Amino acid sequence: MTDRGSDYIELHCHSCYSLCDGASTPVELIARAAGLGMDALALTDHDAVYGAPLFVAAARARGMHPILGAELTLADDSHLTLLVENATGWRNLCRLISMARHHAPRGRPALPPAALDDHTGGLICLTGCRQGPVAAPLRRLDMPGAVRAATWLRERFGPERTFVELQHHLHPGDAVLVRRLAELARHLGLHTVATNNVHYARRDQQPLHDLLTAIRHRTSLDDTGKRLRANSEYYLKSGGRLMPLFGAYPEALAATRAIAGRCTFTLQYGLQDLPCFPTPPGYDADGYLARLCAEALPCRYPGNPERACRQLAHELHIIARAHLSNYVLIVWDLVRYARTQGIRCQGRGSAANSLVAYLLGISPIDPLRYDLVFERFLSAERPALPDIDLDIAADRREEVIQYVFRTYGPAHAAMACTFSTFQERSALRDVARALDVTTEHLLLEGDHTPDRVRTLAATLCRQLNNLPRHLGQHNGGMVLTRAPLADRVPVEPAALPGRAVVQWDKTMLEDVGLVKIDLLGLRMLAVLSEAGRLVGDQRGEPFDLDRLTFDDPAIYQLLAAADTIGVFQVESRAQAQMLPRLRPQQFADIVVAISLIRPGPIQGDMVHPYLRRRLGQEAVAYLHPRLKPALEETLGVILFQEQVIKVARDLAGFTPGEGERLRRALGAGKGPEAIAPFRDAFLAGAARNGVAGPVAAAVFRQLEAFGGYSFPKSHAAAFAVIVYQSAWLKRYYPAAFLTALLNHQPMGFWPPAVLVRDARRHQVRVAPLDIHASGMRCVLEMDGSVRLGLNYVSGLSEAGAGRIIAARPFAGLADLCRRTRLPKGLVERLILAGACDGWGTERRRLLWELGTFHYAADELDLPIPGSTVDLPALTADEARELQMALLGVSTGDHVLARWRDALTARGYLDSLALARCPDGQRARVIGVVVVHQAPPTAKGFHFITLEDESGMINVIVRPYLVPLYRERRGGHLLKVEGIVQHEAGVVNLVATRLAPLARE
Amino acid sequence: MSRFWSDGIPIEVTVDALAAPAAFAWRGRCHTVDRVVERWRVDEGWWKRRAWREYFQLVTHSGLLVLIYHDVRIGQWRLQRVYD
């Protein structure tokens, strides 16, 4: 008896990818099945295969057999369980799911029954749960209806692929239904199969499943009522547990094994699925790629291109062998299109290692000049797919995405999906609603909510954490296939019309081997575009930022002085601390600067030694002379991923491809067993090169310690281009740069208020909001000032701003209100922000006047002519505060500017004076808190950045002081007393006392 | 006459090999079970007061149709309904 029980395989099983229904992850389900001694398991989520890649990977890791399928929702709301036998079945399943998703409103899939006429090949059909087309009529005692439905299915799937599904969850009526279904099956010559309609791996996860159901219906658990399953029998059960329930039908249990044996489909795709790039007649993809590169050679390498030719031949050979020419051409075409539309873009990540990418204009970096390693991007030995990701000006990324859809068609192009998951805060809201309490009750201490509820809520939140909740916004990943996409993976309509999304996210696509291209939006590229245009306007001729060579000493002076607010990547507090020590003098130093800000622990072993060597405080030493060529650029310290490859090559004779595999293994955080074979090969290779054993071992230990934390030099180099360009704009055209920065917020490290104040300190005039002068966005005025735009008035729509611009000039407040029809609240905000100051009337008076207006449906009554009122004028401080509060920016003087004399008299230093103090001196400062950081790796130290009218002050707060200063928000004045730390051009104030200033 | 106790009244039950009731004692009398008409399980209300019960609708040799349940959590048997 037990033998037959132990042969049972679960064929109807939901994971958390049956969104807001299944409670267990695919990994948990596989683990539980393995624990029960099963060697196979099916995954049948609702109208989806979201979980398939994770499921297959988990099964393979345990040597289990994954069976793929789905539970489909039909147009009449009945459910059908489908299992994939072979590749044809997978294709049909993908098509059926796509159809179900497209023929119905988003989130409520419904398959038109006619679809089953043609798409059943390779699929096994189980007639479903109580809600299935056969069981439902039977429950209503509609025998003819049940027979009709079963016959209908048998006609489409055939008697060998149609199984009457039996389920028994110990509900009243289950046993009778099982009996009737079995009779029906016998009557129609169909087999039966038993399943448990699993919704969670273990019985104790039933509460989580119930919670998800309540969340799905947006009701409290009490109100969800009958929509909750009445008991906890829907967990993964062994055959032994099910035998008593199906005692009279042992063949139904045995059938699971037979079906499992027939489902032999494996999920894996290859590169050959890329669309064929249309090449000119006479050229295949390889040939065309070679031609394009050859044509670009003389331009990129005028003079002696011998080395470039050799490298090019090498790269083209590897690309052709990997069948990737199509991929490169597709990306080249995207970049070409973007550039013709004036959209800035550049490749990111490892692509900059490739000469081909450089020749085609995909990457801005010459890999020969910067000594990069192609095999970091692609090699004969590298098992993974290459990554060409494009950074595109954020405001115009959509256009490039649209181009992809237009060019390849919706049948061949779609976005990768993303999953919005339950996170702490949103989970708390959902749990509170389910438990019928308020979130405040769950958070407050000493409330009358019993502890039990709070404990229960905490447990539930923990269980919900990271489970997928719904599909989120796409993040730029695009899938392209030659065969119709819907043959490979189900496609759903996206939130935007005319757009489709596949049912796998970026990671899953990579696991499955489907090639994708990441089209990422980078706001700084949009800034460079706009600033470049403004510079061109100013000069009266077109201006091309990309013509800049990276050798202007003034730019490196700016970087070395850490005068980098607004500059890409190097404006953060951490960078400001490091740049004066680094003192960049050439492009390669910018590449290093980007790569030096690394997670805490590595600072001590990697960053500090590098900086010490750079300042001459420590001798540059190499463990072995063979390491010099690879590590010379970083003074003997391993910083770049490419260096791991080079060290392996130079010391131990690894091929670059093998070196890349080593780097991947080190970076993947796998255990020593995974690294061991690499170590053996490394030591053996080193010995063959005459390197002493202990030295080789020491080098390998270094690789192990830092290899995992190294930074891709190619990525840093591509970014360094943008750093240089933005620094150049800041140095020579700060007004244009500020204008562009302000128009693309939020971005970067600093808020607009800081950007404005920094620009003003660099002699940029910033003009306040003015209803007669401000445009939709910030603009550069004729006199070189930056005029704040109407985009800085929160709550003012583009339409509203348009009305202001179209209707001006305004004779007065009444005129403004009547002709723009803006809501009173918005006009109030405009007044308070100073936009109406041009009339010369006091703001308070204007507000009073506004209050006398009568806003009717479509008419604006004239104000009641009445007595004038004497209202006190706003002080400068009040005006500045209002502007700051309403616009987030302040164009007036800094609050401290007026009090500087009084402060100096009392012994307070400003930021400039502080910077001149010697190390160890005591000092006292006041500034506005702009940044307060408490990095988890900083061992309890906090870092505060203050700003006064002259610049920034870096304050270090030691752990013992932290509890005495509780304020975590910014924007207020802080008094700090401490000791100056002045080292290698970097000034910090180590606080001994700090106190917020009370309002005076 | 049908009698119903919403919380059930505690009774003593002896079970058979399939963990189903074979006999129970009520009001001082012992009733043996002729057959189980239906059995089902309920597991609800875990967020306030969990009701995890296995129900048995039985016919006794004494001709009664009754509904008794086993509270799985505390291991107690209760008589819920005696049908007319």
ipTM score: 0.93
**With an 8 Å Cβ cutoff, are B47 and A207 in contact?**
yes
**With an 8 Å Cβ cutoff, are A170 and B44 in contact?**
no
Please determine, for residue A622, whether its predicted confidence score (pLDDT) is greater than 50.
Answer: yes
Nearest Cα to Cα of residue A9 among A138, A123, A157, A126: A126
Q: For residue A444, what pLDDT is reported?
A: 65
Mean pLDDT in residue range A47-64: 95
Please determine, for residue A436, whether its predicted confidence score (pLDDT) is greater than 80.
Answer: yes
B44 touches chain A (CB under 8 A): yes
Query: β-pairing, A779-780 with A786-787?
Result: antiparallel
Q: Which of A173, A221, A233 sits opposite B47 (nearest CB)?
A: A221
Q: Which of B43, B44, B47 sits opposite A456 (nearest CB)?
A: B47
Q: What are phi and psi of A174, to 5 degrees?
A: -65, -45
pLDDT digits (tens, 9 = 90+) for A520-560: 999 999 999 999 999 999 999 999 999 999 999 999 999 99
More confident residue, A786 or A891: A786
User: Is the pTM higher than 0.80?
Assistant: yes
> For chain B, what is the largest distance between any 2 Cα atoms, rounded to a whole number of angstroms?
40
**With an 8 Å Cβ cutoff, are A206 and B47 in contact?**
no
Q: For residue A860, what pLDDT is reported?
A: 55
Name every residue in A having a CB less than 8 A away from some CB of B. Answer: 169-175, 206-207, 210, 221, 228, 230-233, 244, 434-435, 456
Give me the tens of pLDDT residue by residue for chain B, a chain 84 residues long: 688 988 889 998 999 888 889 999 988 889 999 999 999 999 999 999 899 999 999 999 988 899 999 999 899 999 999 987
Please determine, for residue A269, whether its predicted confidence score (pLDDT) is greater than 80.
Answer: no
The region of weakest confidence among A207-211, A595-599, A810-814 is A595-599
Measured between alpha carbons, how far is A518 from A510 in angstroms, rounded to an integer? Answer: 12
Q: For residue A897, what pLDDT is reported?
A: 84
> Which DSSP state fits A769?
P
Instruction: Give how far B38 is from chain A: nearest CA, Å.
Output: 7
> Which DSSP state fits B67?
E
Nearest-CA residue of chain A relative to B41? A170
Q: For residue A2, what pLDDT is reported?
A: 46
B73 touches chain A (CB under 8 A): no
Q: Which of A173, A233, A435 sits opposite B47 (nearest CB)?
A: A435
A12 token code pair: 């109807």
Instruction: Give how far B45 is from chain A: nearest CA, Å.
Output: 8
Please determine, for residue A985, whether its predicted confidence score (pLDDT) is greater than 50.
Answer: yes
Mean pLDDT in residue range A148-153: 96
More confident residue, A946 or B7: A946
Please determine, for residue A865, whether its predicted confidence score (pLDDT) is greater than 60.
Answer: no
Instruction: Give how far B15 is from chain A: nearest CA, Å.
Output: 16
Handedness of CA A758, A764, A770, A773 (dihedral sign): negative
Mean pLDDT in residue range A238-254: 93
- Helix ranges restricted to H, A793-949: 798-807, 813-820, 824-832, 843-852, 876-887, 900-905, 911-915
Query: Which of A609-618, A874-883, A935-944 has the largest mean confidence?
Result: A609-618
pLDDT digits (tens, 9 = 90+) for A515-528: 888 999 999 999 99
Find out whether A249 and A191 touch, Cβ atoms under 8 Å: no
Q: For residue A787, what pLDDT is reported?
A: 94
- Tokens 């723009």 map to which residue? A820
Collapse the DSSP code of A502 into the 3-class scheme (helix H, G, I; strand E, B; otherwise coil) and give the result: strand
Please determine, for residue A872, whether its predicted confidence score (pLDDT) is greater than 80.
Answer: no
Find out whether B9 and B69 touch, Cβ atoms under 8 Å: no
Please determine, for residue A966, whether its predicted confidence score (pLDDT) is greater than 80.
Answer: no
B16 touches chain A (CB under 8 A): no
Which residues face A594 on adjacent strands?
none
Which residues face A957 on adjacent strands?
A942
Measured between alpha carbons, how far is A20 from A164 in angstroms, rounded to an integer? Answer: 27
Measured between alpha carbons, how far is A867 from A858 in angstroms, rounded to an integer? Answer: 27
Nearest-CA residue of chain A relative to B57? A172
**With an 8 Å Cβ cutoff, are A231 and B42 in contact?**
yes
**DSSP codes, A617-632:** SS----SSGGGHHHHG
A208 token code pair: 């989580």
Q: Strand order in A79-84's β-sheet?
A: A40-46, A65-73, A79-84, A123-126, A162-166, A191-194
Query: Which of A192-206, A642-656, A740-754 has the largest mean confidence?
Result: A192-206
More confident residue, A419 or A867: A419
The region of weakest confidence among A620-634, A864-878, A982-996, B26-40 is A864-878
Q: For residue A90, what pLDDT is reported?
A: 96
**Percentage of chain A with pLDDT > 90?**
58
Mean pLDDT in residue range A822-851: 87
What amino acid occupies position A68?
A: L
Please determine, for residue A683, whether its predicted confidence score (pLDDT) is greater than 90.
Answer: yes
**Confidence class of residue A868 from pLDDT cuts 50, 70 and 90?**
low
Tally of CB atoms within 10 A around B75: 7
Angle (CA) A600 A604 A605, round 5°:
115
Please determine, for residue A42, whether its predicted confidence score (pLDDT) is greater than 90.
Answer: yes
Selected for mutation to probe chain B from A170, A196, A211 (highest B CB count within 10 Å) is A170
Q: Which of B18, B40, B44 sits opposite A170 (nearest CB)?
A: B40
**Confidence class of residue A600 from pLDDT cuts 50, 70 and 90?**
low
**With an 8 Å Cβ cutoff, are B41 and A231 in contact?**
yes
B74 touches chain A (CB under 8 A): no
Please determine, for residue A5, whether its predicted confidence score (pLDDT) is greater than 70.
Answer: no
Measured between alpha carbons, how far is A507 from A487 in angstroms, rounded to an integer? Answer: 20
Mean pLDDT of chain A: 89
pLDDT digits (tens, 9 = 90+) for A346-397: 998 888 889 999 999 999 999 998 888 888 888 777 655 677 889 999 999 9
Chain A residues within an 8 Å CB radius of B44: 228, 230-231
Q: Which of B41, B46, B47 sits opposite A170 (nearest CB)?
A: B41
Please determine, for residue A284, whether its predicted confidence score (pLDDT) is greater than 70.
Answer: yes
**Percentage of chain A with pLDDT > 70?**
95
Please determine, for residue A750, whether its predicted confidence score (pLDDT) is greater than 80.
Answer: yes
pLDDT digits (tens, 9 = 90+) for A477-499: 999 888 899 899 999 998 877 78
Measured between alpha carbons, how far is A15 from A306 in angstroms, rounded to an integer? Answer: 57
Please determine, for residue A147, whether its predicted confidence score (pLDDT) is greater than 80.
Answer: yes
Please determine, for residue A447, whether its predicted confidence score (pLDDT) is greater than 80.
Answer: no
**Confidence class of residue A103 from pLDDT cuts 50, 70 and 90?**
confident
Give the number of C-alpha atoms closer than 13 A to the C-alpha of residue A71, restricted to the C-beta side: 30
Q: For residue A1000, what pLDDT is reported?
A: 42
Measured between alpha carbons, how far is A723 from A570 in angstroms, rounded to an integer? Answer: 7
A474 token code pair: 């796409």
Q: For residue B18, what pLDDT is reported?
A: 80
Find out whether A888 and A753 touch, Cβ atoms under 8 Å: yes
pLDDT digits (tens, 9 = 90+) for A629-639: 999 989 988 88
Please determine, for residue A921, whether its predicted confidence score (pLDDT) is greater than 70.
Answer: yes
Q: For residue A863, what pLDDT is reported?
A: 53
Chain B residues within an 8 Å CB radius of A172: 38, 40, 55
Instruction: Give how far A188 is from chain B: nearest CA, Å.
Output: 28
Q: For residue A728, what pLDDT is reported?
A: 97
Instruction: Give how far B69 is from chain A: nearest CA, Å.
Output: 13
**With an 8 Å Cβ cutoff, are B42 and A456 in contact?**
no
Find out whether B14 and B56 touch, Cβ atoms under 8 Å: no
